[in-house]
Amino acid sequence: MKNRIFFLCYLLFFFGCSSDDASTEPTNPTPPDDDGVTSSMMPCESGMAGAYPCEGYDLIGRISLSDFSANSGNDSWGWTDTSTGREYAIMGLNNGTAFIDITDEENLLYLGKLPTQGSPSSWRDIKVYQDHAYIVSESEGHGMQVFDLTKLRTVSNPPVSFVADARYSGFGNAHNIVINEDTGFAYVVGTSRSDAFRGGAHFIDINDPKSPRAAGGYGANGYSHDAQVVTYNGPDSDYTDREIYIGANEDVVILADVTDKDNPTFISSVSYPSISYTHQGWFTEDQNYFILGDELDEVDSGFKSRTLIFDFTDLDNPTLHDTYFGTTSAIDHNGYVKGNDYFLANYTAGVRVLDITGIANKDITEKGFFDTVPESDNAQFSGVWSVYPYFSSGKIVVSDINNGLFIIKKSN
């Protein structure tokens, strides 16, 4: 199945557009100066922020792939320096990881890039723990790079080329990494299917950030494409304070108790109609519901963007609660919950923001969007890969495969 999705991704990314809807990079309104600074603020007015369709979200700024000296983009995350209050966007590229100071909304500052370990790859994933970034890639032999983010405080003459502070080599390639910041454990998923955990989760203790160490793993349910791991405080009292792993395992969602790293245990699994590729999901903040995207159902079944909502009030018996269909045919990718908003990276449809206040009553509506690919909403693997909505300032990081980094913010 993994080979299938790689093939489809490449096929649709490189050949899937007709001459009428081929992706072309929009013009950057204000190109960056030689010092890596860019400013391109545009309010959302009458449904447009410059060249970009929008509703309720302004463009703060954009940095193109050429500014990053990269050919494509992928994942993104963010870091707030608690010592200084400055905010930084982190964007994965085919040839490394870029770090951008986004504190000053009028001047986004590209600080530099951490080059990839080994060959370039279209797949890279980043998470943050204790002022350190942890980076994995599908590049063979990449392992996990560890980068001390406090270095970003003192960069002079940007952009610079950074060096990793440590590298964990207990696996080679990996598709994703998730971190439970409550416990200080990273969970690397989507590694080789022939490794000790069959592409499931590698547990890594990162409590000493620059000295990660192996801590076992979980492969009983096979390959995990993505996952979320939480310290559970939801409605099912049987699992209070347990460390729960929710895996998007290609054709099923699985739950496991990974509190005891030497003895992780399967809890349950849940399926749903018209499965194509179980991709990624995220808990609501009350941990009552789990919101999931299937990456290939729009392609295989012709759905409008489909989002699946599972009732997780009983972890031993999860059920499909509701299905939401978007307004376009674009493929859904990564999605994250903040309060009563669900931020969905929706490839060619950009970022869609869903109001989940009424999720218990199956009442979900789209409340806003920012479309980085104005020329197409087709079901193809281009456009927005991921979104990071967790800065206290309200700034939102948007990583676009073809068009680079966007910073957006809710309109006043």
pLDDT digits (tens, 9 = 90+) for 45-67: 999 999 999 999 999 999 999 99
Phi and psi at residue 109, to the nearest 5°: -120, 110
What average pLDDT score do residues 343-364 get? Answer: 98
What average pLDDT score do residues 391-406 get? Answer: 98
Cα gap 101→103, rounded to integer Å: 6
Confidence grade of residue 37 (pLDDT, cut at 50, 70, 90): low
What average pLDDT score do residues 15-28 get? Answer: 32
The CB density around residue 93, as the number of other CB atoms within 10 Å, is 27
Percent of the chain's residues with pLDDT above 90: 90
2-10+45-410 has which fold?
Methylamine Dehydrogenase; Chain H (2.130.10)
Tokens, residue 142: 């990449």
Element (H, E) at 5: helix 2-15
Cα gap 383→74, rounded to integer Å: 10
Distance of CA 355 to the CA centre of its chain: 19
Confidence grade of residue 40 (pLDDT, cut at 50, 70, 90): confident
pLDDT in tens, 295-306: 999 999 999 999
Confidence grade of residue 39 (pLDDT, cut at 50, 70, 90): low
User: Is the separation of the CB atoms in 109 and 33 below 8 Å?
Assistant: no
Question: Above 60 in pLDDT, residue 355?
Answer: yes
Degrees, nearest 5: CA angle 227-91-18 = 90
Domain range list for the chain: 2-10+45-410
Per the confidence metrics, is the pTM higher than 0.75?
Answer: yes
Cα gap 131→96, rounded to integer Å: 19
User: Is the separation of the CB atoms in 203 and 153 below 8 Å?
Assistant: no
pLDDT in tens, 315-345: 999 999 999 999 999 999 999 999 999 999 9
pLDDT of residue 12: 41
Percent of the chain's residues with pLDDT above 70: 91
User: Is the separation of the CB atoms in 21 and 376 below 8 Å?
Assistant: yes
Mean residue pLDDT of the chain comes to: 92
